[in-house]
Amino acid sequence: MTAHIIDGKASAATLRERVASHVSHLKQTYGITPGLAVVLVGEDPASQVYVRSKEKQTIEAGMNSYEHKLPAGTTAGELLALINQLNNDPQVHGILVQLPLPEHLDEMLMINAIALAKDVDGFHISNAGLLATGQKGMVPCTPLGCLMMLREHYGSLSGLNAVVIGRSNIVGKPMAQLLLRDNCSVTMVHSRTQNLAEIVSRADIVAAALGRPLFIQGEWIKPGATVIDVGINRIDQGDGIMRLVGDVDYEAAKNIAGAITPVPGGVGPMTIACLLANTVTACCRSHSFPEPAGLTA
């Protein structure tokens, strides 16, 4: 049996339509346009691609996009001054500082300088705390996108066994918190975990975010399980052509899993759509407008 392929592109398109429709409602009803400020420091090529894509999709959704491209040699003081200016700008509802920052800049210091209500990446320490304690905050985009796809697939996640592979602050930990909040029984594993294959083989949901190309073997997957592959790895499979692959051996896993996200075309497109959704949520909260359904967890 071949798994149902979870189409992240289609889910992202639906979410973007929902975002655009609410943006139009905010403009018509209140004369307010949600605004997202994106700060890019330096010339990292992958970051430049991500930032261009975020700006394009922000504008396509009818929102304002404010770009701030700073040289690699920007000082901590200069970056903090810009973040402070954006925190105080009423046209800006969401602020995203593109990571990674150049080495001389302290990422956590910069993220925690963003006003909590404008932290649309959900990386601020207080947003992490709100998520961990089951309170309303901004939810990190990638795990939020994964959760939305899982809810769309299952309806209720209650009682399912989930394994989250990877414990980073931006993917693994918030993913586990979200699954726990949706009443899954969650196991978190990492590079020191023993019996990884055995733990994976018990899971109804496998969320892989380890950054190791094709590491999770098809034969580890429980028949019928749902596999969410967060990994984005660029590899040469022997023919000199660079390809994007996930953390899961997709070709093998798709013959055993019940449902699986492809790479590319799975989690990736949902991440930016969730950033747009978070910006609309932040805008509604800042004005105490009713929050639209289906844009957050």
d(CA 161, CA 261): 18
Region near ligand NDP per CB under 6 A, out of 56-64, 115-123, 153-161, 266-274: 266-274
- When the beta carbons of 74 and 122 are compared against ligand NDP, the nearer one is 122
Contact 179, 147 (CB under 8 A): yes
Of 81, 8, 40, the closest CA to residue 267 belongs to: 8
d(CA 146, CA 177): 12
Region near ligand NDP per CB under 6 A, out of 27-35, 115-123, 184-192, 254-262: 184-192
DSSP string spanning 48-68? HHHHHHHHHHHHHTT-EEEEE
Q: Provide the residue type at 155 as one letter.
A: G
Site for ligand NDP contains 189 (CB under 6 A): yes
Site for ligand NDP contains 171 (CB under 6 A): yes
Site for ligand NDP contains 165 (CB under 6 A): yes
β-sheet bridge partners, residue 233 = 245
Cβ atoms < 10 Å from Cβ of 233:
16
Write down the least CB distance from residue 28 to ligand NDP, Å. Answer: 32
- Grouping H, G, I as helix, E, B as strand and the rest as coil, residue 97 is strand
254 part of the active site: no
98 part of the active site: yes
Q: Which of 121, 204, 229, 247 is catalytic?
A: 121
Site for ligand NDP contains 11 (CB under 6 A): no
Q: Which of 98, 119, 173, 222 is catalytic?
A: 98
- Torsion region of 195: left, alpha or beta (phi above 0 gives left; psi -120 to 50 gives alpha): left
Site for ligand NDP contains 16 (CB under 6 A): no
- When the beta carbons of 82 and 230 are compared against ligand NDP, the nearer one is 230
Q: Using CB under 6 A as the criterion, which residues of the chain lie in contact with ligand NDP when the complex forms?
A: 142, 165-168, 170-172, 189-193, 196, 209-212, 215, 230-233, 267-268, 271
Please identify every residue annotated as catalytic.
54, 98, 121
